[in-house]
Amino acid sequence: MKIEARRQGGEGRAKAFMVLGTGSDVGKSLVTAALCRYLARLGIAVAPFKAQNMSLNSAVTPDGKEIGRAQALQAEAAGIAPSVDMNPVLLKPSSTDGAQVVLHGERFGTVHAADYRGRNRERFWPAVLESYERLASEYDAIVLEGAGSPAEINLREGDIVNMAMAHAADARCMLVGDIDRGGVFAAIYGTLALLDDHDRARIDGFTINKFRGDRSLLEPGIIEIERRCERRCFGVLPYLPGLQLDEEDSLALDRRRLGAPWGARREDERLRIAVLSYPYLSNFTDFEPLAAEPSVDLRYTDRFEDVANADLAILPGSKNTIADLQWLRARRLDEALRHAGHILGICGGMQMLGRRIEDPHAVEAGGKHEGLGLLALSTTMLQEKITRQVSGAHAATGAPIRGYEIHVGESEYDAASLPFAEIHDLGASNVRRDGARSEDGFVAGTYMHGLFDDDRFRHEYLGRLHASLGRAPAAQWFFVQRERERSLDRLADMVASELDLTTFFARLVERSLSPQRLGGGL
């Protein structure tokens, strides 16, 4: 769905609507995406916005800037290209108390939590407002997303993403609570109770998310919480299984770590893909298309048996490559890798597979570190971050390949080593080598994130993997873009049928949209 809508006329800023949550992983990102798709299908020029995001999953915009993965998905839902103004501040945790700050899509520096809390408003609030005003001048509606909970009273003073942003944008707010984790009424009541009167007045009502079961059993609780909070319930959103959309929050990984350890491989099983779940794993959304394939059994794991008995072991990207390499060795996963069928490293994972990693500027730990020695390359950590969209051809098969790079290290390849791909920057013709592969083809590495989003490449890659293991070809294939569009439309259909959007979006009526049009007819 490509709309590329812009304001068609009229004066003033865009109308602002905000999705807040009672906590992390309650569904704010997907509800925001659903509202963007809902408005876009009505022909409204809408854009997403999240002032500050904390995530190790990021995306690269067409102009080579870095933003949170959720905002890229929300832009896709709105039918527009992602831009840095949709997520001006991105925090990428790099230690237990520190994070890399990405400001307007570029690396700003590394800060510790205490320092950031004390100075983030002074440093980053002007940049946040600058981005928001640009969007508000281009679109008719902005759907903002909050972070965590607006009731984190220890963080209120330095807030730039929840209520401070709601006031700055003059946004109507909807509070989302997750019934799936239990205690949703207490979470809604407690959130509202902890807010100041000035902040509480911004919140028009609440929505209960991820409901399963008999709705009639919920009604008494809704009536009582409406009375106690003096806020309306906009509706109840059912749990929607099978959505093929990115999950940004790292809490989502916990749902992929279930199951008994794998034993010896059997020919009649699905392909086993083990993604090493080290502490600073980044861009785990790279592997969602693989997980969706009917012929694949994918899990995120730190167990020796899983890695050793995998048909394909993947070393994913890392926000702290050296620390994760040490973590991997401490669990003997370096030994387990030597028993896996195939090995693929992406970004930081490829750097680990090389012979050594040098960090002369102490970007991470400093010093020189021995790699796993499975690929003929060496990496030097640099202070400048590389972010760009790329495309080209897979060297082994000639299959088209595309993705994006986000890394601070540069690798040198031995003269005799084989490339993983031949690529060029988006819109350019400067062909260069990417990555490396072993002579026997069982070990490979690339700097490209998102390469499995492309159906043609993913199907070709898995087909060759099946063949190399003596397996029959896959009977069914998954198609990413088709299923993403279906999932976004399912979300929009759900919010249209279950939420009172006529009331929530009432201010858009001022832009000549009738209540009947807002309420349905999708």
| SS3 label, residue 193 | helix
Rounded CA gap, 77 and 79, in Å? 5
Rounded CA gap, 298 and 311, in Å? 10
CB atoms within 10 A of CB 305: 16
3-state secondary structure 331-378: CCHHHHHCCCCEEEEECHHHHHHCCEEEECCCCCCCEEEECCCCCCEE
Q: Which residues contact 461 (CB under 8 A, 6 or more apart)?
A: 394, 399, 452
339 in active site: no
Rg of the chain in Å (alpha carbons)? 24
Which one is catalytic: 369, 394, 407, 449? 449
Q: Are strands 421-425 and 377-394 parallel, antiparallel or unpaired?
A: antiparallel
Q: Identify the sign of the CA torsion 182, 52, 107, 402.
A: positive
Q: Measuring CA to CA, how many Å separate 216 from each of 3, 61, 146, 221, 493?
A: 39, 45, 30, 10, 22
Rounded CA gap, 194 and 420, in Å? 54
Q: Locate 506 and state its tokens.
A: 């009432």
Rounded CA gap, 346 and 270, in Å? 23
CA neighbours closer than 13 Å in the CB half-sphere of residue 253: 22
Which one is catalytic: 342, 347, 394, 407? 347
DSSP string of 136-166, one letter each residue = HHH-SEEEEE--S-TT-TTTGGG-SSSHHHH
Rounded CA gap, 108 and 160, in Å? 17
36 in active site: no
Place of tokens 């207490």: 186
Catalytic positions, please?
347, 449
